[in-house]
Every structure is written in C-alpha cells, then in structure tokens.
Chains A and B, each alone.
Chain A
C-alpha cells in the first residue's frame, strides 16, 4: 500500500523531515519529487489569509493523493497545506511524491498541484500594504491545467458522476 500523508495545519513544515518520514522503510524508492509553494509578493501584497472547509478539505486531499498513487505507481506521497495568515515569502504548500523512477514522481507532483488548486476547498484572501483586502478569484488557466489530466472519477470536483 502506498504511504499517504495528508495534513492541513497553521504551522510551518520541514520538507527534509517529511521526506525522511516518507522514505522510511521504502527501499523500492528511486526518487522523491518535491514541490513547495511560496506566498508570492508583488502589487503591494503583504500576506495571504487561507481559509478551508474542515473535513471536506482533508477528504479531497486524500482522494487526490490516492488517485496520484494509483495513476503514477507511487510508493507514497505527502501533501501538507497551511492555513491561516501567511506573509509573503512563507511556504504555503508541500507536495512530495516518491516512486521507483523519476518520471512518475515528477508528473505526480504536477498532477497533485493541478488538482489541489481546483478541487480542494481552500480560499485565499489577499492583504495589501495599504490596508485593502480581497478574495482571490479562481483562474481559468488552473481549470485548464487540471482538465488536461482528463476526468478522474475519484477527484473530479463532482461535475461528472
């Protein structure tokens, strides 16, 4: 069984520590692909406030992760998404994918980020230096990125049953 770890947390994560946990006892792994998302600055942005739907978030993250494990033959994966107020430059999301070979791990990382962005119930509110704040709007290009993976019954956002 692939080792799947899903967490939603306010605290920072330690990528090296999480990688060690993912690899423990997995001698069949030939590579771990990692993606760390960072709060990107610009336009006077000071911080993001991340909100989520407790319960549904974790179950969607797990469905996405388990789909990735099956689709790409992963030995395991770890997905950690932070919530709360995150200043510019802070890490916001970590995806680790372990597999026997490089290709599957790297593709799975992209797959998971594309699905996380469009199917896990998180919302970002931007805080600006001048005191303004605004909810981030969903981007059509994120939907397009997800769509190229086809329609996965396991994590399709419920649009097709």
Chain B
C-alpha cells in the first residue's frame, strides 16, 4: 500500500491528513498518482488539477512529479514550505 500524506491547506481542504491506497493500476511515477487522485473529482480535482501549486516528497525527500513510485512508498503532498 502507498502511504499518502497531506499537509497545511491541502489537509484542510481534503479533510484528512493522509490515507493508504494500493498503487493505482499502471502508475509508475508521482504524476500518475496525481492523475488518479485528480480523477476522484471534488476537492481532489480542485487541488490536483493544478500540480504547479503543490510540492511532493517521496519517502521524505523532495521529488519532482516525474519521480518513480513503488508499492509501500510514503508520498507527501504539500504547499511550498514557509518555515524559518
């Protein structure tokens, strides 16, 4: 199972901090996962239709949407960071 995490306003809008789901059929990279989440419609579509607003980490390292994913990966979606 993939472990998906949502932070900051993504979590607020989706109403959840994370979920587990099987690797979508035919999904090889983050972009494929984004497409699967986008296909859910509703808030997911509102958020994942604009991936340029989102940053991604795969297994706790920053990644691009072209990064490969595999079963059991931890994939986090969040806005650009604002610490410091």
Q: Is the CB of B81 within 8 A of A93?
A: no
Q: Which of B8, B57, B62 contacts A51 (CB 8 A)?
A: B8
A158 to B64, CA, bound (A): 7
In this complex, the interface size class of chain A, counting residues with CB under 8 Å from chain B, is: 20 to 34
Which A residues touch B63, using CB under 8 A?
Answer: 158
Contact flags A131-161 to B (C-beta < 8 A → 1, else 0): 0000111100010000000000000111100
Q: Which of A53, A120, A142 contacts B76 (CB 8 A)?
A: A53
Count contacts between A and B, CB distance < 8 Å: 78
Q: Which of B5, B62, B64, B79 contacts A135 (CB 8 A)?
A: B79
30 interchain pairs (CB within 8 A)? A50-B83, A51-B7, A51-B8, A53-B78, A55-B60, A56-B57, A81-B83, A93-B83, A116-B84, A117-B84, A119-B81, A121-B7, A121-B57, A121-B76, A121-B83, A122-B83, A123-B7, A123-B8, A123-B79, A124-B83, A125-B8, A135-B9, A135-B12, A135-B79, A138-B80, A138-B82, A156-B62, A158-B57, A158-B62, A158-B64
Residue positions of B touching A, CB distance < 8 A? 5, 7-9, 12, 57, 60-64, 76, 78-84
